[in-house]
Amino acid sequence: MTPANPEIKRHDPSDIRMHWFNAACWLVLLVTGLGLIKNERLNPLGAWLPDLLRGLFGGGSAGGAVLLVIHEVAGVLWLVGILVYLGVNGRGGAFFLREIFSVRPGDLVWMVRKMGRMTLGVGGELPPQGYYNMGQKAFAQTSVLGGIVIGLSGMVLLASDKLLPAALTVLVGWAVTLHYLAVGLVFAGLLVHIYMAAISPEEKPGFRSMFTGTVPQDYARHHHGLWLESLPKGDSGSESAAK
Ligand code: HEM
């Protein structure tokens, strides 16, 4: 007999591994990156983090050099990890990109009403959403486009030490600026993402799915109705896996 509220497959194990690998890389890159900004007027956290991290890795400029190597190695590993994921599950990657960049008219209504509900406690019924809701799409678009800028500018900065001639100083200046701006933008979205995904009580099944890979059918119907409708019905009448 089919259970009343069966579990529906939402994430492939490779998607889950990719997500947590990405989150771990972000954590290391953010902490070491902030630790590298020695100018306390530019560092949003002031001087304590650079001083603490440099102290941990031998102190002074030697500590700073170790910090830079950790940041560079983590950055390269992050990019390699993304390429490996695309090699292992290119279909999953293509599905993700297609979903986050397809915005329907109802999505904008969803976004305005959701923000009204969360901030002022007003707003009509939310239009049904697909695999991702518009808030998730907006963050995912920011993190993909921001990630591309961060990755490309990071590679320019990595090359700038050894390979790039002095004539390309302007390029390095732009790379630094774009690197900071893109990290700031994605980080702002990340604060909302972590609140919505891990703290907001109504999204708890979504959070659990980032470990188990499945969500209850009722949750899928309520939060991602168009996705549930699009799934092929299995023999038992319940929906089967999406990706
Ligand atoms: C503590 C850190 C994090 C937590 C708790 C978290 C949680 C989650 C959860 C639960 C989902 C699944 C939503 C669903 O499909 O129903 C998700 C998806 C996603 N996460 Fe994270 N995440 C974290 C860090 C990050 C970081 C650092 C990034 C990238 C900068 C990121 C990017 C994404 C993207 C692009 C998705 C798919 C779209 C979305 O649901 O917004 N996450 N995350």
Distance from C-alpha of 107 to C-alpha of 94, rounded to nearest angstrom: 21
Beta strands in the chain (DSSP E): 7-9, 214-216
Tokens 């949750």 found at: 219
The pLDDT score that the predictor gives to residue 93 is 97
Q: What is the pLDDT of residues 30-65, one digit of tens each?
A: 999 999 998 777 778 888 899 999 899 888 788 899
Ligand 1 atom nearest to 208, measured from its CA: 10
Protein residues whose CB sits closer than 6 Å to any atom of ligand 1: 19, 22-23, 26, 132, 136, 139-140, 143, 186, 190, 193-194, 197-198, 206-207, 209-210
| Cα–Cα distance measured from residue 230 to residue 226, given in angstroms and rounded to the nearest whole number | 6
Helix (H/G/I), strand (E/B), else coil: 79 = helix
Atom of ligand 1 nearest to the CA of 147: 30
Model pLDDT, residue 234: 62
Q: Flag whether pLDDT at 241 surpasses 70.
A: no
Pocket test for ligand 1, best of 16, 19, 190 (most atoms within 8 A of CB): 19
What is the value of pTM for the model shown?
0.91
Testing ligand 1's pocket by substitution, the residue of 98, 210, 243 carrying the most ligand atoms inside 8 A of its CB is: 210
